[in-house]
C-alpha cells in the first residue's frame, strides 16, 4: 500500500545535521518527499510504501545524528496514495511560524573528522582555524534567530565560495546544510595584534606567531567560541605572577587547557567520569586532583586541592597547543563579570592585561562562558552551566503558561517555561558587577526573541532589592503581569525536585551562604519539608551574627569572632581571638561591641568560613568561597566533631557550638587537616540525624540536597553515604548547579505549581 504521510519532529533537530540525515534516509528507503525547518521543529513529508514509511519513522528515532535530541514525533496527516509517486527528496527553504517550538543546539566541540582534515597538508582546509561540519562547531553563540539557517546566523556575513557551496548542496557530503561551513577562501579571518591594536600577522602566520609568543612567556587574549580567553604558560611563576598582578586576581584558580587527554593525565588524576566529561562534545572544565610530581606552577591554583582542566574544543585551540603540553586558558573577564566577546571591547578593556590579541571577524552574537563540572563517584555535577549545556531544556510534569523565573543575585541566571519544557539560561555572574545587568538583559532578550515568548507570569526572589527582579519586571512590562515571590531556599528545593522528576513532598537540606528569609534575617542553613508549591521551615542552624554584614564574606575572621562570642561569651571570645590574631586586636575591640546590632544569619556557608579562619587558614579572602574551599582542601580523616540537635518552637536547631569548642580544644593535639575533616564529618552526621527524626514525624524518605555548600564534595560524599545507609533516597543536582544558578529553575517550578496543569 502506498502512503502519503507528514510528521513533525521536535527537539534539538536544527543545526545538528538532521535535515541531511532525513534526506539520506529517505533515499535509502526509496521514499520521496521533502523536509523543512519550521519554528515548530523539522517537518517531514513522505511518499512511498507503508512499510518503508514505518521503518523511516523508527529510524528517525534510533539513527538520528548524535548531537540531536528528539522530544517528540507527531503525525500531522496520513492518507493513502491512489497512484504512484514521483522520485526525489528535497530540502525546502525554512519557514518561521508564530509559535516557536524548535530547540536550539548548544555549541559543539570540533569533531575528529574535521581535525583529521585540518591536520592534512593535502586538504584545502589544512590548518583552517574555523573548520566545522554538521557534527560540530558553533551553534548557540552564532544564532541570531530561528529557524536555524545561515542567513539567520553571524555567518551571514560570509558568502560561501563555489567549493563550500558545492559541499553544502551535496546530500552525500558531511557538510550538507552545515550552516557555519567555510574555508580559507570564504570564511572568517584571523589576525594578531599588539596591545594597541597594531596588526602583526594574518591567517596561519598569526596562529604560528601567537603560539611562539606564548612560548616566550607572553600573555595573549584569544577570541574563542563564546568569548575571549586569556592564555599564557602554566609552567612559569613569573608569567603567572604578572598575570595575577595585571588582572587583580590574587588567589582565584586559573583553568588549564591540556593539549590531549594524555597530557591532562600527567597534570591531574582523572577518574573514568572525568575522562568522559573531558572527551564529551560539551568539553567542560573538569575539576581534578593535581599531581604533585608535575612541573605546573603553584600559582595556577594556589591553596586549593582541585585544578580545573579542559581539552581543546575549537580548531584554534588545537592549533595553538601544537607542540605544547598545556596553556592557562582563563575567561577574559573580571571576577564574576561577563566574559568579553567583542573585538573593540577586548582592545579597550584588556589592553592593560595582555601583551597581544588574536582576533577573528566571526561575531559572537551570544557570549557564553565555559561550563565547569565536578566528578562525584560514578556521576558528576555542574558548578557552572554554560557552553555545551545551554540552551538544552528540561521537562516537568506540568503544562505551564510562559513563566519567567528571574533568578538570584550572585550566581545570576534566568529561566523560561513553555508548556512542559523548562529553558534554563546560562551562567551570567554577579549582578552587582559592572556589565552583568546588561548581560542579563541581553541574554533574556535573546531567549525571548528566539522562542517568540511573551511571559505573562513572573516569579522572583523574596528579596525586595534584587537587580534581576527589577530587570525582569522592566523587560516584561505587562500591566496584567502576574507575579509571585518565592523564598530563596524554597526555590532551591523546587529546582532539585524538578531536575530529579519528583513532585515531593521531601525533606530539604538547603545549605548555602545567603538567602533572604521570611523573617527578614539571612538564612543559609535550612531544613525544609515541602514541594514546589509550599514548604515548612522545620529546622535551621543556630543563628549567629555577621559583624560588618557583607564585609564578613571577604573577612572570615569577623565570622570566626562571632562564632567564638556565641560559644564562649564576649570576654572569653576576645581573649581567645587576641591569641589567634594578635595584629587585629584593635579591630576586634571595635567589632565585638557591635555584635548585638549586626545582621542575624543561619548560614552554613558562613559557618564554614568562620571555621576556616579559626584554624588559621583564611582570615581574609580574595574571592567568594575561598575560605570554605581551603577548609575542604586540607580536610582528612574520619573524625566527627560534635554537633548537637535541639528543638525550639517545633523546629530542630543544629547547634554548632560544641563543634567550635571541639575545634578550639583540638588545636593542641590534632593537625588542622584532621580537625577540618572532623568538622565535615560531624556536620554530615548531624544532618543525617535530623533527617531520621523528620522521617519519624512525616514518613518522608526523600532528602533533597541543594545550595552552594553542596559543591563541597567531602561534605556531599559523607552526607550521601550516611543517608543511603539509613535507607533514604537522596536527590541531588547534576545538570543544574547546586548553587544559586538553579534558583531561577526552582522559581519556574513554583510558578508551574500555581498556574500550571498536570500533563
Q: What is the value of pTM for the model shown?
A: 0.91
Residues 571 and 450 in one domain: no
Note the pLDDT of residue 173. Answer: 85
Residues 463 and 483 in one domain: yes
Confidence of residue 20 (pLDDT cuts 50, 70, 90): confident
Any domain includes 38: yes
- Residue 222's domain spans which residues? 190-372
Note the pLDDT of residue 323. Answer: 95
Note the pLDDT of residue 264. Answer: 97
488-499 vs 743-755: helix crossing angle, rounded to 10:
80
Confidence of residue 587 (pLDDT cuts 50, 70, 90): confident
Domains identified in the chain, total number: 4
Any domain includes 405: yes
Cα–Cα distance measured from residue 503 to residue 531, given in angstroms and rounded to the nearest whole number:
6
Give me the sign of the Cα torsion angle 577, 713, 699, 394. Answer: positive
pLDDT at 98 over 60: no
Cα–Cα distance measured from residue 68 to residue 464, given in angstroms and rounded to the nearest whole number:
41
Domain boundary among 313, 343, 372: 372
> Average pLDDT of the chain?
92
Residues 584 and 669 in one domain: yes
pLDDT digits (tens, 9 = 90+) for 318-362: 999 999 999 999 999 876 678 999 999 999 999 999 999 999 999
Residues 471 and 539 in one domain: no
Confidence of residue 96 (pLDDT cuts 50, 70, 90): low
Q: Residue 95 gets which letter from DSSP?
A: B
pLDDT at 143 over 80: yes
Tell me the CA end-to-end span of the chain in Å, nearest whole number. 36
Any domain includes 151: no
pLDDT digits (tens, 9 = 90+) for 378-437: 899 999 999 999 988 888 999 999 999 999 998 999 999 988 889 999 999 899 887 899
Residues 752 and 720 in one domain: no
| Mean local confidence (pLDDT), 108-130 | 96
- Higher local confidence (pLDDT), 295 or 698: 698
Choose the weakest-confidence range: 98-112, 551-565, 625-639.
98-112
Any domain includes 652: yes
Residues 239 and 326 in one domain: yes
Residues 464 and 547 in one domain: no
Residues 216 and 365 in one domain: yes
User: For every residue of 279-324, which 3-state class applies, written as one string?
Assistant: HCCCCCEEEEEECCCCCCCCCCCCCCCCEEEECCCCHHHHHHCCCC
pLDDT at 97 over 60: no
Any domain includes 53: yes
Any domain includes 133: no
Residues 726 and 707 in one domain: yes
Domain boundary among 317, 338, 372: 372
Note the pLDDT of residue 682. Answer: 98
Residues 749 and 695 in one domain: no
Residues 297 and 418 in one domain: no
Residues 463 and 523 in one domain: no
Cα–Cα distance measured from residue 481 to residue 467, given in angstroms and rounded to the nearest whole number:
18
Any domain includes 52: yes
Specify the CATH number for the domain of residue 530: 3.30.420.40
Any domain includes 150: no
Note the pLDDT of residue 192. Answer: 98
- In terms of residues, how long is the chain? 759
pLDDT digits (tens, 9 = 90+) for 490-512: 999 999 999 999 998 999 999 99
Amino acid at each position: 500500500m502506498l502512503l502519503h504521510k507528514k510528521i513533525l519532529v521536535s527537539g534539538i533537530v536544527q543545526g545538528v545535521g538532521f535535515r541531511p540525515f532525513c534526506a539520506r534516509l529517505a533515499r535509502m528507503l526509496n521514499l520521496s518527499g521533502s523536509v523543512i525547518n519550521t519554528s515548530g521543529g523539522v517537518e517531514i513529508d513522505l511518499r512511498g510504501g507503508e512499510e518503508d514509511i514505518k521503518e523511516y519513522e523508527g529510524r528517525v528515532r534510533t539513527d538520528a545524528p548524535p548531537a540531536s535530541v528528539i522530544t517528540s514525533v507527531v503525525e500531522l496527516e496520513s492518507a493513502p496514495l491512489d497512484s504512484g509517486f514521483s522520485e526525489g527528496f528535497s530540502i525546502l527553504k525554512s519557514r518561521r511560524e508564530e509559535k516557536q517550538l524548535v530547540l536550539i543546539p548548544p555549541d559543539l566541540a570540533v569533531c575528529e573528522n574535521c581535525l583529521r582534515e585540518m591536520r592534512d597538508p593535502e586538504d584545502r582546509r589544512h590548518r583552517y582555524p574555523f573548520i566545522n561540519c554538521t557534527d560540530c562547531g558553533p551553534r548557540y553563540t552564532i544564532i541570531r534567530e530561528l529557524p536555524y539557517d545561515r542567513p539567520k546566523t553571524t555567518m551571514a556575513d560570509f558568502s560561501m565560495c563555489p567549493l563550500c557551496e558545492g559541499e553544502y548542496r551535496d546530500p552525500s557530503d558531511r557538510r550538507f546544510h552545515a550552516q557555519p561551513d567555510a574555508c580559507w577562501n570564504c570564511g572568517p579571518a584571523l589576525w594578531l595584534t599588539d596591545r594597541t591594536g597594531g596588526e602583526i600577522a594574518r591567517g596561519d602566520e598569526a596562529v604560528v606567531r601567537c603560539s611562539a609568543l606564548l612560548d616566550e612567556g607572553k600573555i595573549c587574549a584569544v577570541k574563542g567560541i563564546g568569548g575571549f580567553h586569556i592564555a599564557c604558560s602554566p609552567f612559569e611563576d613569573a608569567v603567572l605572577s604578572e598575570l595575577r598582578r595585571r588582572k587583580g586576581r590574587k588567589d582565584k584558580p586559573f583553568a588549564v587547557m591540556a593539549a590531549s587527554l594524555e597530557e591532562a593525565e600527567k597534570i591531574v588524576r582523572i577518574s573514568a567520569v572525568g575522562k568522559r566529561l573531558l572527551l564529551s562534545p560539551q568539553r567542560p572544565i573538569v575539576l581534578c586532583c593535581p599531581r604533585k610530581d608535575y612541573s605546573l606552577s603553584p600559582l595556577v591554583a594556589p591553596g586549593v586541592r582541585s585544578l580545573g582542566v579542559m581539552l581543546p574544543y575549537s580548531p584554534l585551540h588545537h592549533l595553538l597547543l601544537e607542540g605544547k603540553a598545556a596553556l592557562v586558558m582563563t575567561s577574559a573577564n573580571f571576577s564574576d563579570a561577563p566574559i568579553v566577546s567583542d573585538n573593540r571591547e577586548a582592545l579597550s578593556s584588556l589592553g592593560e592585561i595582555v601583551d597581544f590579541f588574536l582576533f577573528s571577524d566571526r561575531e559572537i552574537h551570544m557570549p557564553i562562558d565555559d561550563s565547569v563540572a565536578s566528578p562525584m563517584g560514578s556521576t558528576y555535577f555542574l558548578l557552572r552551566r554554560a557552553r555545551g549545556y545551554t540552551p538544552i531544556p528540561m521537562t516537568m510534569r506540568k503544562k505551564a503558561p510562559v513563566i519567567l523565573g528571574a533568578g538570584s543575585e550572585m550566581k545570576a541566571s534566568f529561566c523560561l517555561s513553555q508548556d512542559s519544557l523548562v529553558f534554563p539560561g546560562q551562567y551570567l555572574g554577579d549582578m552587582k558587577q559592572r556589565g552583568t545587568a546588561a548581560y542579563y538583559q541581553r541574554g533574556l532578550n535573546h531567549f525571548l526573541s528566539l522562542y517568540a515568548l511573551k511571559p505573562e507570569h513572573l516569579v522572583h526572589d523574596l528579596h525586595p532589592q534584587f537587580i534581576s527582579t527589577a530587570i525582569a519586571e522592566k523587560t516584561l512590562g505587562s500591566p496584567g503581569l502576574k507575579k509571585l515571590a518565592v523564598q530563596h531556599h524554597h526555590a532551591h528545593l523546587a529546582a532539585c525536585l524538578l531536575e530529579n522528576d519528583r513532585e515531593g513532598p521531601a525533606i530539604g537540606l538547603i545549605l548555602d551562604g545567603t538567602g533572604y528569609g521570611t523573617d527578614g534575617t539571612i538564612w543559609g542553613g535550612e531544613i525544609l519539608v515541602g514541594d514546589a508549591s509550599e514548604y515548612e521551615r522545620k529546622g535551621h542552624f543556630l543563628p549567629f551574627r555577621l559583624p560588618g554584614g557583607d564585609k564578613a564574606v571577604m573577612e572570615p575572621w569577623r565570622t570566626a569572632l562571632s562564632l567564638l562570642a556565641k560559644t564562649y561569651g564576649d570576654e572569653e571570645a576576645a581573649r581567645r581571638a587576641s591569641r589567634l590574631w594578635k595584629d587585629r586586636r584593635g579591630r576586634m575591640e571595635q567589632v565585638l561591641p557591635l555584635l548585638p546590632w549586626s545582621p542575624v544569619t543561619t548560614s552554613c556557608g558562613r559557618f564554614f568560613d568562620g571555621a576556616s579562619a579559626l584554624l588559621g587558614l583564611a582570615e581574609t579572602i580574595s574571592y567568594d568561597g575561598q575560605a570554605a574551599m581551603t577548609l575542604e582542601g586540607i580536610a582528612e580523616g574520619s573524625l566527627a566533631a560534635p554537633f548537637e540537635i535541639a528543638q525550639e518552637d517545633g523546629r530542630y536547631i543544629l547547634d554548632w557550638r560544641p563543634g567550635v569548642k571541639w575545634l578550639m580544644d583540638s588545636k593542641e593535639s590534632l593537625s588542622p587537616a584532621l580537625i577540618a575533616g572532623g568538622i565535615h564529618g560531624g556536620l554530615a552526621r548531624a544532618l543525617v540525624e535530623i533527617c531520621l527524626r523528620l522521617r519519624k514525624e512525616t514518613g518522608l524518605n526523600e532528602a533533597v540536597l541543594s545550595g552552594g555548600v553542596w559543591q563541597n564534595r567531602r561534605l556531599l560524599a559523607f552526607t550521601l553515604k550516611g543517608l543511603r545507609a539509613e535507607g533514604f533516597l537522596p536527590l541531588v543536582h547534576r545538570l543544574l548547579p547546586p548553587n544559586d544558578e538553579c534558583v531561577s529553575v526552582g522559581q519556574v517550578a513554583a510558578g508551574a505549581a500555581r498556574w500550571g496543569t498536570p500533563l
